[in-house]
């Protein structure tokens, strides 16, 4: 007997919703289950965070026809300036010196959510079931039987392939008995919008200070998203400061490159953990996004990486269907991992190294990273490869990332 749906995705956050948009044109019957409505303040994926979308993400969003809607709210990054407080080494990357017209785009997560959900609603073969929550699943020979809680009732449905895109505390991962490697960074990110005296000239700043990295991402001429990573122990202290005290603290760390900070918006805090699932897939099941790797936001890569995984999975499902394979044929998931493993490992290693390196105050390490920044700035080939990696354009990549359709 054929299942109710070819694919059931748990979680309509950024990654789950993107997968639905990528798979829908293949004509598959898709259900996507989400526990928190898009308009709810508690929606974990779509809040007021400013997200940096890499050029690889833009290409994928173009291919799945979401970019035209995102572009309306996006601010291009033309330059990146990386420096360390009290050191002379810095790296400066200008899109004009590369073959790319921009180095990324900044968009508020809520706007990205609206664009993804609008695109999903274009497809009759995608059914968004929200608010509803996965409670349990059971594997059978013909597919997964899922128990979904909806308005206090338990409904069952069957799926050929179950996708766990249900975030860092993934229930799909736990029910499947998949273990994790975890690390508490003991750091908290504080995010707020700021208005500055001088225009940002579409420049993203990253500054490493003894208290943690500070990033300023442009969202308008004189407005930027301020991302301040602090020692977890000090988070409450920064959150409880008055706006004036907080502005003073930021100016002390960041300096006055953009003149005075005239205004600071609401502060939101995010305690940071690293989570890596030991297995990414099992029979009839695959994990995506934060459910499979939750990484430090210092390199702004979490969603960008998750979306390249979405592109890889959609491509392998498409190729599998072309070969006449069933949606839950394990070969599809094996092909997917072959395509995505190197990029995943590179991003996780790089992000973890940066998280530990820039918190280490040992003089030798400090001089080494200062030297590394100088080298990147001086050597064109090193800079090119660094930039392409950060843009998600290096190595073996899915067709969408190469600007090709399936």
Ligand X SMILES: Cc1cc2nc3c(=O)[nH]c(=O)nc-3n(C[C@H](O)[C@H](O)[C@H](O)COP(=O)(O)OP(=O)(O)OC[C@H]3O[C@@H](n4cnc5c(N)ncnc54)[C@H](O)[C@@H]3O)c2cc1C
What gap in Å lies between CA 141 and CA 326, rounded to an integer? 13
Question: Is residue 44 near ligand X by the rule CB under 6 A?
Answer: yes
Provide CB contacts within 8 A for 161, sequence distance 6+: 6, 7, 8, 143, 144, 284, 285, 286, 327, 328
Residue 56 touching ligand X (CB under 6 A): no
Stretch that binds ligand X, among 33-41, 88-96, 113-121, 352-360 (CB under 6 A): 33-41
Query: Minimal CA–CA distance to 104: which of 59, 42, 45?
Result: 59
Q: Which is nearer to ligand X, 51 or 321 (CB)?
A: 51
Residue 351 backbone dihedrals phi, psi, to 5 degrees: -65, -45
Residue 270 sits in the site that holds ligand X (CB under 6 A):
yes
Interface with ligand X in residues 157-176 (CB under 6 A): 165-167, 171
Number of residues that bind ligand X (CB under 6 A): 34
Q: How far is the CB of 257 from ligand X (least distance, A)?
A: 20
34 near ligand X (CB under 6 A): yes
Q: Which is nearer to ligand X, 45 or 370 (CB)?
A: 45
From the DSSP assignment, how many helices (H) and strands (E) are in the chain? 11, 20
Buried b (16+ CB within 10 A) or exposed e, 282-291: eebbbbbbbb
Q: Does 225 bind ligand X (CB under 6 A)?
A: no
Hey, how many other C-beta atoms are within 10 angstroms of the C-beta on 307? 29
Instruction: Give the nearer residue to ligand X in terms of CB position, either 52 or 91.
Output: 52
3-class state of residue 346 by DSSP: helix
**CB-CB contact of 369 with 88 (8 Å):** no
Residue in 60, 64, 112, 300 binding ligand X, rule: CB under 6 A: 300
Give the DSSP H or E segment for 161. strand 153-164
The residue among 334, 360, 69 whose CA lies nearest residue 212 is 360
Q: Which residues contact 175 (CB under 8 A, 6 or more apart)?
A: 136, 137
Residue range at the interface with ligand X (CB under 6 A); choices 29-37, 237-245, 333-341, 375-383: 29-37
For ligand X, the closer CB: 203 or 366: 203
Other beta carbons within 10 Å of 48: 15
108 binds ligand X (CB under 6 A): no
Tell which positions 346-385 bind ligand X, by CB under 6 A.
none
CA angle 234, 216, 388 (to 5 degrees): 115
Q: Does 14 bind ligand X (CB under 6 A)?
A: yes
Which positions from 64 to 103 touch ligand X by CB under 6 A, shown as an x/- string? ----------------------------------------
Query: What sign does the CA torsion over 285, 286, 289, 294 have?
Result: positive
Name residues contacting ligand X, limited to 115-144 (CB under 6 A). Answer: 133-134
* CB 57, min distance to ligand X, A: 7
Binding span for ligand X by CB under 6 A among 298-306, 314-322, 336-344, 393-401:
298-306
Tokens of 222: 């004189």
Nearer to ligand X, 63 or 370 (CB): 63
CA dihedral sign, ordered 117, 120, 124, 126: negative
Binding ligand X (rule: CB under 6 A), the pick from 9, 22, 24, 35 is: 35
* 343 scored as a contact of ligand X (CB under 6 A): no
238 belongs to the binding site for ligand X (CB under 6 A): no
Q: Does residue 10 interact with ligand X by CB under 6 A? A: yes
Contacting residue, 63, 180, 284, 304, with ligand X by CB under 6 A: 304
Q: Of residues 113, 212, 306, 398, which one binds ligand X by CB under 6 A?
A: 306
Q: Are 66 and 115 within 8 A, CB to CB?
A: yes
Residues that bind ligand X (CB under 6 A): 10-16, 33-36, 44-45, 49, 51-52, 133-134, 165-167, 171, 189, 191, 270, 289-290, 297, 300-304, 306
């Amino acid at each position: 007997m054929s299942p109710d749906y070819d694919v059931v995705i748990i979680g309509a956050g950024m990654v789950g919703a993107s997968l639905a948009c990528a798979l829908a044109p293949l004509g598959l019957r898709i259900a996507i289950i989400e526990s928190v409505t898009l308009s709810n303040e508690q929606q974990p994926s779509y809040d007021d965070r400013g997200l940096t979308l890499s050029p690889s993400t833009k290409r994928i969003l173009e291919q799945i026809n979401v970019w035209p809607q995102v572009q309306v709210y996006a601010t291009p990054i033309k330059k990146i300036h990386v420096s360390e407080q009290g050191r002379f080494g810095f790296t400066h990357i200008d899109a004009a010196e590369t073959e790319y017209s921009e180095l990324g785009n900044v968009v508020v997560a809520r706007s990205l959510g609206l664009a993804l959900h609008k695109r999903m609603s274009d497809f009759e073969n995608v059914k968004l079931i929200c608010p509803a929550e996965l409670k349990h699943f059971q594997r059978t020979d013909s597919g997964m039987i899922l128990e979904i809680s909806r308005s206090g009732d338990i409904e069952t449905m069957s799926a050929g392939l179950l996708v766990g895109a249900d975030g860092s505390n993934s229930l799909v991962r736990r029910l499947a008995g998949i273990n994790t490697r975890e690390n508490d960074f003991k750091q908290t990110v504080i995010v707020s919008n700021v208005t500055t005296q001088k225009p940002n000239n579409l420049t993203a700043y990253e500054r490493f200070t003894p208290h943690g990295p500070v990033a300023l991402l442009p969202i308008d001429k004189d407005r930027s998203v301020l991302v301040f990573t602090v020692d977890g122990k000090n988070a409450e202290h920064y959150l409880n400061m008055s706006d004036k005290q907080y502005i003073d603290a930021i100016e002390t760390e960041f300096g006055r490159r953009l003149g005075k900070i005239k205004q600071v918006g609401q502060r939101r805090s995010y305690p940071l953990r690293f989570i890596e699932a030991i297995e990414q897939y099992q029979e009839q099941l695959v994990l995506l996004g934060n459910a499979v790797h939750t990484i430090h936001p210092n390199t702004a890569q979490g969603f960008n990486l998750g979306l390249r995984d979405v592109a890889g999975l959609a491509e392998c499902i498409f190729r599998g269907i072309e070969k006449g394979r069933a949606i839950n044929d394990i070969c599809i998931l094996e092909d997917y991992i072959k395509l995505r493993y190197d990029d995943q490992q590179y991003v996780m290693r790089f992000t973890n190294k940066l998280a530990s390196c820039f918190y280490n105050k040992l003089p030798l390490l400090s001089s080494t990273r200062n030297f590394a920044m100088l080298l990147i700035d001086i050597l064109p080939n090193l800079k090119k490869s660094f930039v392409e990696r950060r843009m998600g354009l290096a190595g073996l990549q899915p067709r969408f990332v190469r600007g090709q359709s399936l």
